Amino acid sequence: MRNLKTILEYDGSRYKGWQKQADNDLTVQGKIESSLSKMAGERIEVAGCERTDVGVHAENYTANFHTDCDLSIDAIMDYLYESLPDDIVVKSMVEASERFHVGYNIKSITYVYKISNSEQRNVFNRKYVYNSEMKLNIDEMRITAESLVGTHDFQYLATVSPNTKSTVKTINYINITEENNIIEIEINADDFLWNMVRIIMGSLLEVGKGKINAMDIEKLLTETTASAYIPMAKAKGLALRGVEY
């Protein structure tokens, strides 16, 4: 069978996340599998690199699937372009080795969180950025971000399930930039726990708003109730930027 590696872009606004569910097909994975299975005349299962949450977007999402379909890659991409909803696009596709799987041998994952730091929300980007009407202190946010870089136990800044193997993760960098009142927080790590990115972004927002002291970051990492009093950042501002293998 052929093993095809794909890079996707999708607007997660109307989807219940990446992973298909038994009670509905309003997921990105479900939409792609439906299109591919109809095209190939066989049941195709698509593996994804991450389980993005409800409303989260992706700029470069890596997926792979096996198929006996003998259509050319160009023909498959043309079919998907026409059959998929307008908010999902296959950006590229290549033949991969038989053993390649998008969930294995991941070196790092990058997410980006976008914030509109303006008194009035922008009607044209409202689905893709979180609007903070309160002026954020970026310098304090950077101090906090720098303290999170490195290897730490993030169990209190995430939602941890009983079958989680390890809550120790390494954040390689957190870059915070601002241009034309749009703040971008780019975070790269070897792996992320469930809700870890959104809770970290929520922490940075609370610091930026002056509700949490930037120097209290160690308390956030060791405080058992941290995830309870830190509001998770809104999903709409978050996008998976890419995965490195």
Q: Residues with catalytic annotation?
A: 53
Which pair of structure tokens corresponds to residue 223? 């405080």
Q: How many whole angstroms separate alpha carbon 221 and alpha carbon 154?
A: 6
The helix, strand and coil proportions of the chain, stated in percent and rounded to the nearest 5, come to: 25, 30, 40
- In total, the chain counts a number of residues equal to 245
Q: What pairing do the DSSP bridges indicate for beta strands 130-131 and 108-116? A: parallel
Nearest to 118 by CA among 180, 67, 163, 199: 180
Residues 6+ apart with CB under 8 A from 165: none
Q: How many whole angstroms separate alpha carbon 237 and alpha carbon 204?
A: 14
Q: What is the DSSP string of 133-165?
A: -SPP-HHHHHHHHHHH-EEEE-GGGS---TT-S
Q: How many whole angstroms separate alpha carbon 161 and alpha carbon 158?
A: 10
Q: How many whole angstroms separate alpha carbon 164 and alpha carbon 153?
A: 13
The one-letter amino acid code at 30 reads G
